[in-house]
Amino acid sequence: MTERDFASLDAVEERVSAPPLQPERDWQENTFTAATLRTMQFKAIQYVVPGLFPEGLTILAGKPKIGKSWLALDIALAIAGGRYMLGDIQPAQGDVLYAALEDNHRRLWKRIRKIMGSDALWPKSLTLATRWRRLDAGGIDDIKDWAKNAANPRLVILDTLAGVRPERNSRDTLYDGDYKALRELHDWANEMGIAVLVLHHTRKMEADDPIDTISGSLGLAGCADTSAILSRGGKGTTLYIRGRDVEEQEHAVTFNAETCRWTILGEAAAVEQSYTQAKLLTALEDATDLMTPADLATATGIVRNNVDQTLYRMVREGEIIKVSRGRYVHAKRPDLLPISPHKKCKK
């Protein structure tokens, strides 16, 4: 027999001895009817931060040095220590894992001392790390092991994604690579009902949709259950949130440089309106003459369109008076109103 004949016999023997192929799974195994779904019961969505961050995977994005890490650390201390955060929000207490991958022990010590104060007890339920394995190199297994050994695991914080991100596969598109980077962590968080907060950066370019400012492709936001963007812009500093299990919202927030803690001031649009209104009222009260919308925009630095809209509301509410030819005066400054000829004193 020739070598070709022996090769053919080997191929036949390999096919005969090989285990039978497993039948493909029936598509029907993964389907259900609407009537069946109607009878199912589910646990209510749990919020790690009431009204803001639900269970599952959340991306918290913002420009470098805007204060994302201060917010994340304050959240961690509030949950682990039963404290208030963002003003008057008190989350349910539990165990927290915070991987501060851009910090060292000294910096973490200084930051916690700044937030907690010198006399407060530091919580034992907060586990800290400054190094963590990549998610595809044992990092997720380590997170699972921490959760298994914690009494009441509530939150995992990875600060930042760049420190644990899996290596990219050159065959993946940018979207697929970003999506796969968080997919396993997302699935585990949802299966366990645990919240995972991943800190990430926003890009330099602005966008009409805040989600589009998250650095990278839309694969990250597509995989995450919730996206939160901390940013500064025309509305001041805001925390924008959108997710599958949380209503879209945008809050005006402020950072206290003394305590290094964030506070929610209120709904962003309402706070902006109140701020704009206050500045216009001050300018009109201090005026020495009637003012036009252009005058007010120059004096306050407020965008002309916002000036026009706010003036309309203020006239309707009686706070200011609109004089002919689009000039305005504060209701408390009737001395600036032009005197009608009919009201002049008779000789």
The reported pLDDT for the residue numbered 205 is: 84
Using CA atoms, how far apart are residues 329 and 281, in angstroms rounded to an integer?
9
Q: Was domain 272-334 assigned CATH 1.10.10.10?
A: yes
pLDDT interval class at 273 (50, 70, 90): confident
Residue keyed to tokens 């407060």: 120
User: 98 near 127, Cβ under 8 Å?
Assistant: yes
Structure-block tokens of residue 301: 């630095």
* Ramachandran quadrant class, 326 (left: phi over 0; alpha: psi -120 to 50; beta: rest): left
Any idea where the domains of the chain sit in the sequence? 47-247, 272-334
CA 171 to chain centroid, in Å, comes to: 30
Helix (H, G, I), strand (E, B) or coil at 323: strand
Helix (H, G, I), strand (E, B) or coil at 308: helix
Report the half-sphere exposure of 330 (CA within 13 A, side-chain side).
Answer: 17
pLDDT interval class at 24 (50, 70, 90): low
Closest-CA residue to 75 (of 62, 87, 57): 87
The reported pLDDT for the residue numbered 6 is: 47
Beta strands in the chain (DSSP E): 47-49, 53-54, 56-62, 95-100, 126-129, 153-159, 195-201, 226-233, 236-243, 249-256, 261-267, 320-323, 327-330
Listed in sequence order, the DSSP H helices in 104-208 are: 105-116, 139-149, 174-192
Instruction: Classify domain 47-247 at the CATH topology level.
Output: Rossmann fold (3.40.50)
Question: What pTM value is reported for the model?
Answer: 0.77
At residue 236's C-alpha, the angle toward residues 231 and 239, to 5°, is: 40
The reported pLDDT for the residue numbered 318 is: 87
Structure-block tokens of residue 22: 């497993």
Amino acid at 109: W
Closest-CA residue to 336 (of 285, 296, 298): 285
CA 258 to chain centroid, in Å, comes to: 23
User: 194 near 55, Cβ under 8 Å?
Assistant: yes
Q: Percent of the chain, pLDDT > 70?
A: 90
pLDDT interval class at 23 (50, 70, 90): low
pLDDT interval class at 31 (50, 70, 90): very high
pLDDT interval class at 317 (50, 70, 90): confident
Using CA atoms, how far apart are residues 227 and 41, in angstroms rounded to an integer?
27
Q: Is the pLDDT of residue 346 over 60?
A: no
At residue 258's C-alpha, the angle toward residues 252 and 262, to 5°, is: 25
The reported pLDDT for the residue numbered 2 is: 55
CB atoms within 10 A of CB 264: 19
Q: Is the pLDDT of residue 201 over 60?
A: yes
* Ramachandran quadrant class, 152 (left: phi over 0; alpha: psi -120 to 50; beta: rest): beta
Using CA atoms, how far apart are residues 201 and 62, in angstroms rounded to an integer?
5
